[in-house]
């Protein structure tokens, strides 16, 4: 890697400060005993304790993570298979249509997706709650996974499959031992993107929650109406901490994967 020039480094530093300053500002005040974001009085953990004492808030936090993990997992499976399906379509017109349909779902506004889900679920009689939120999150995550996996599939050399078949591999072997390992980085990228999409979605979730099931984004939104209390800061700090752990985990997975493929080549 080339060394960065001084001006580029300054620019980079400014960008990172702008991106991270609000988050650290928020976390800093989550330790404030003063009760507001105006002046810092003294260090306290009371707001974190308040989060852990409020079992309703904790359940919501856990719900948010469960929905994110499961919806990302399910949508990764569906999205990967979908991407493989799209690639195997021979007719290029058909393939482009499928891709466009996939992209339309990514750019369509969340509010509209949410409202249509609400109407759909109440029409076919799905009880609003965990299942409806999970289904909605899977639905809006699938197109993202497709988009993350596709480039890897397109980049793959077709003769790899032909060679495997010539050597006597069954179709199942080709899938398990050639295609999936090759597109693995795309699958992981899709999973993590779906995870973050699910974590911070408000608009869709708001419409499809019910029966006591809520996620953090919905809860914080209605809490914020009465002014941001420092409990919100504390919970945001916790979520940020979890996110950092997830990102570090992702880093280790990818670096291990690349080391391995590097070793066998």
Partner 1 sequence: MKQLIQATIAILVVSALLFYAADALSAGGGKSGKDTLTIFNWGEYIDPDLLKQFEKETGIHVIYETFDSNEAMMTKIQQGGTAYDIAVPSEYMIEKMKEENLLIPLDKTKIPNLKNIDPYFLDLPFDEDNKYSVPYFWGTVGIVYNPKLVGNLDFSSWDDLWDPSLNRKVFLVDGAREVIGMGLNSLGYSLNSLNGHELREATDKLITLAPNVKAIIGDEITPLMINNEAAVALTWSGQAADMMSENEDLDFAVPEEGSNLWFDNMVIPKTSKNIDGAHAFINFMLKAESGAQNADYVGYSTPNIEAMKLMDKEVVSDERYYPTEEQRDTLEVYKNLGPDYLGKYNELFLEFKMSIR
Q: Which residues bind partner 1 (CB under 8 A)?
A: 36-38, 54-56, 58-59, 62-63, 65-66, 69-70, 72-73, 118-119, 121-122, 127-129, 132, 176-177, 180-181, 184, 187-188, 191, 206, 209-212, 214, 218-219, 221-229, 253, 257
The neighbour count for residue 57, using CB atoms within 10 Å, is 21
Nearer to partner 1, 170 or 211 (CB): 211
Q: Which of 32, 56, 29 minimizes the C-alpha distance to 219?
A: 56
Closest contact distance (angstroms) between CB of 158 and partner 1 is 20
Q: Based on CB atoms, which residue is closest to partner 1, 64 or 102?
A: 64
User: What region, left, alpha or beta, does residue 209 occupy, with left being phi > 0 and alpha being psi -120 to 50 degrees?
Assistant: beta
* Nearer to partner 1 among residue 11 and residue 25 (C-beta): 25
Alpha-carbon distance of 182 to 261, in angstroms, equals 9
3-state secondary structure of 175: helix
Give burial (CB, 10 Å; 0-12/13-18/19+) of 99: middle
Q: Measured from the CB of residue 122, what is the shortest distance to partner 1 in angstroms? A: 5
Minimal distance, residue 178 CB to partner 1, in Å: 10
Closer of 99 and 223 to partner 1 (Cβ):
223
CA-to-CA distance for 232 and 218, rounded, in angstroms? 12
């Amino acid at each position: 890697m080339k060394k960065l020039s001084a001006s580029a480094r300054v620019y980079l530093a400014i960008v990172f400060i702008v991106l991270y300053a609000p988050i650290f500002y928020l976390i800093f005040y989550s330790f404030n005993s003063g009760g507001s974001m105006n002046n810092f009085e003294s260090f306290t953990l009371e707001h974190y304790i308040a989060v852990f004492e409020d079992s309703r808030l904790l359940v919501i936090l856990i719900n948010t993570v469960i929905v994110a993990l499961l919806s990302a997992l399910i949508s990764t499976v569906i999205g990967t298979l979908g991407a493989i399906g799209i690639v195997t379509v021979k007719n290029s017109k058909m393939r482009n249509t499928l891709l466009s349909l996939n992209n339309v779902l990514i750019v369509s506004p969340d509010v509209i997706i949410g409202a249509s889900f609400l109407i759909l679920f109440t029409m076919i009689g799905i009880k609003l709650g965990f299942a409806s939120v999970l289904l909605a999150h899977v639905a809006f995550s699938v197109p993202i996974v497709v988009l993350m996996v596709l480039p890897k599939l397109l980049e793959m050399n077709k003769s790899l499959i032909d060679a495997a078949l010539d050597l006597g591999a069954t179709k199942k072997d080709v899938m398990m031992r050639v295609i999936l390992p090759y597109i693995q980085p795309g699958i992981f990228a899709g999973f993590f993107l779906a995870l973050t999409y699910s974590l911070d979605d408000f608009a869709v979730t708001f419409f499809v929650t019910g029966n006591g099931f809520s996620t953090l984004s919905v809860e914080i939104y209605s809490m914020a109406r009465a002014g941001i209390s420092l409990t919100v800061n504390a919970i945001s700090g916790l979520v940020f901490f979890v996110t950092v752990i997830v990102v570090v985990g992702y880093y280790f997975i990818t670096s291990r994967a690349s080391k391995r493929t590097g070793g066998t080549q």
